[in-house]
Structures are given as C-alpha cells and as structure tokens.
Amino acid sequence: MSRFSRITGTGSYLPPRRLTNADLATELAAKGVETSDEWIVERTGIRARHFADPSVCVSDLALQACLRALEAAGREASEIDLIIVATSTPDMVFPSAACILQNKLGNVGAAAFDVQAVCSGFIYALTVADSLIKTGTATKALVIGAEVFSRILDFSDRTTCVLFGDGAGAVVLEASDVPGILATDIHADGKYSSILCVPGHVSGGQVTGSPLLTMDGQAVFKLAVGVLEDTARAVLEKAGKTQADIDWLIPHQANIRIMQNTAKKLKLPPEKMIVTVDQHGNTSAASIPLALDVAVRSGKVQQGDTLLLEGVGGGFTWGAVLLDY
C-alpha cells in the first residue's frame, strides 16, 4: 500500500501589537521617514501588520501556532516525531529554533531542525516533511513557518520597513493511506542572492556587515511573477492536474499585485485566492501557513478541497505544493 502525507490540523499565531499603516507612518514620521497609508495600500495591498515585543522569540510564536495545530489535529506534542521550523529569524545562531520549540512543547526525541529558504521556507519544509513521511522516517510531523522580521528591518528605509510583519503558522502532517500532498516542486537560483538579503554575519564576536534586510524590490517583483507561474504549472503537471482542479490558491503574501498576477496567469478567479497580506503584511516563511489557517478557521477551505500553495523569496528560492486538504 502506498504511503502519503496529509495535513490533519492547522494553527497560527500573531503577536498582539498591531500597527495599521497610519500607526506605522506616525512612528516613522517621528524618525524623519515619510510614507503614507495611500502609498502602502496602492503598491502592496498591505493595511496592517503585527510586531512582536522585543522579549518574544520565533520559538514563542511557533509554540502558540503549534498548540493550536495540535488541538485541531487531536494530537499531543509527545506523539510528534518530526519538527521542522522554516525561519530566517531564529532565536539564536544555534541550536535551531526547532530544538528550542521542541523543549517548549515538552517533546523529547523527535527529529528537529530548521529550514532556511526565506519566504519559500514553508514550501521547502513541507516538501522535506512529506518526503520523510513517505519514506517511513517519520509518521507525525509539525511543520512551522515562523518569523520576527521586525528584528531585521531598517526603519530608516521606507522601501522595505513598511512591507513586513511577525507571526507564525503551523500544520500537523501525518502518514496516511490517501493523499494528502499530491506533488511538490522546489527550486533556487543563488546568482540572485544579493537582490533580497541580510548580508551581515557574526565573526570574532561581532556582527560584520549589515544585520538589516535590503531588497531591490523591482528585481524581486519581476522574478517573482515569472517563477510563481512556472512552479504552479510544474506542480500541477507532476500531479496530473490542471488549473480547473484548484479550489484555493494560497500564495506567499508579499504583495497583492504579485498575487493577483499569479491568479490571472492561472486563469483563476480572484475569489479563489486566499488573501491575508492586507492584515498581516509579508511574514516571510510564516505567510502561507498563516493564510492557510485563517482560511481553514473561516470555513473557506473545506475537507477534500485541492489547494495550491506557492512561495518565492530570498535565495532566490521558489516552489509550490499541491494538496488535498
């Protein structure tokens, strides 16, 4: 009998501090940085984002998302044998956020590690978890996207600091006789590493280079629209499906214009796309599982629906997962 993986529960968490565009514009104006609600909404679709307090780490956000996903799946943390956290903003250099999260969950013995693929991180993590479950290495996984991007934003750079937010989303992924995940497709092209990066690193006890995010927004935009269409078509082909089979498109939530472009190229009506970028901003690896959980809890996504998840981000990385929920 074939072995597949299937999502059995979702959860998410946003830190309580919510800033509307107007709130952020007021804070930035005090630092001499000029922006407006109008500019941000028109260019990105973002209306608000959440920022974690300085004492809160990625593993804290991930923990809350995991507790909700475990409850939805009817599972205990002790039953989990694989924990993968997709993040670019881990609690510390090492150990991984996944190991710190594991301890907070009270789980002992599960394999635990982080995946670093920036905004495509959750797609990568889901692909790895699916593979480990299919091969019998794992049976019940927690797959998480969690970020505190507010820590790496340059609040003197209006071209980036208005775009991102903090949050976490998680799924419980379990071995199943029926799919589940139908196909996955992941890629990278490192020659574009400099268009979206945090170039600093720790050396000799000091941070060398900038520890803050820098982005060539237009270059990222242009690449993103191309690869998102490619990976959507590739994952559909691998699964032997067509656009007509998609019930919900859940893309990385970076910019509503990129998302609408993808839906249009796939000939999907806008109503079939889950949109949370307006309320969350770009939460990098957390954006897809956050959007998925919102869609599940709002009753939009129903058992048996076919979902196309797709992400793109720093690396340059991109990929997609097609699944029956």
Point out which span in 40-48, 79-87, 176-184, 289-297 binds ligand UT7 (CB under 6 A): 40-48
Query: What are phi and psi for residue 90, nearest 5 degrees?
Result: -70, 165
Q: In the set 221, 238, 247, 297, which binds ligand UT7 (CB under 6 A)? A: 221
Q: In the set 5, 102, 261, 282, which binds ligand UT7 (CB under 6 A)? A: 282
Return d(Cα 102, Cα 272) in angstroms, integer.
35
Smaller CB separation from ligand UT7, 83 or 148: 148
Smaller CB separation from ligand UT7, 162 or 182: 162
Pairing of strands 166-176, 82-86: unpaired
Q: In the set 35, 116, 193, 306, which binds ligand UT7 (CB under 6 A)? A: 35
Q: What are the structure tokens assigned to 146, written together?
A: 């969690």
What is the 3 state secondary structure string of 242-270?
CHHHCCEEEECCCCHHHHHHHHHHCCCCH
Contact between 43 and ligand UT7 (CB under 6 A)? yes
- Decide if 187 is catalytic: no
Residue nearest to ligand UT7 (CB): 217
Binding mask 201-220 for ligand UT7 (x = CB under 6 A): ----------------xx-x
CB 274 within 8 Å of CB 240 = no
Contact between 255 and ligand UT7 (CB under 6 A)? yes
Q: In the set 20, 116, 159, 194, which binds ligand UT7 (CB under 6 A)? A: 159
Return d(Cα 275, Cα 64) in angstroms, integer.
22
Return d(Cα 130, Cα 304) in angstroms, integer.
18
Q: How far is the CB of 196 from ligand UT7 (least distance, A)?
A: 6
Smaller CB separation from ligand UT7, 29 or 92: 29
Query: Is the bond leading into 217 cis (omega within 30 degrees of zero)?
Result: no
| Phi-psi sector, 205: left (phi>0), alpha (psi -120 to 50), beta | left
- Which residues pair with residue 146 across a beta bridge? 168
Which residue of the set 252, 255, 261, 280 is catalytic?
252
Which residue of the set 57, 119, 161, 197 is catalytic?
119
Contact between 256 and ligand UT7 (CB under 6 A)? no
Point out which span in 35-43, 51-59, 106-114, 132-140 binds ligand UT7 (CB under 6 A): 35-43
Class of residue 94 by CB neighbours under 10 A (exposed 0-12, middle 13-18, buried 19+): exposed
Return d(Cα 252, Cα 255) in angstroms, integer.
9
The size of the interface with ligand UT7 (CB under 6 A), counted in residues, is: 21
Host H or E run for residue 38 = helix 37-44
Q: Which of residues 109-148 bind ligand UT7 (CB under 6 A)?
A: 119
Smaller CB separation from ligand UT7, 119 or 138: 119
Closest of 32, 93, 101, 29 to residue 67, by C-alpha: 101
Where in the sequence numbering do the catalytic residues fall?
119, 252, 282
Site for ligand UT7, rule CB under 6 A: 35, 39-40, 43-44, 119, 158-159, 162, 196, 217-218, 220-221, 224, 254-255, 258, 282, 312-313
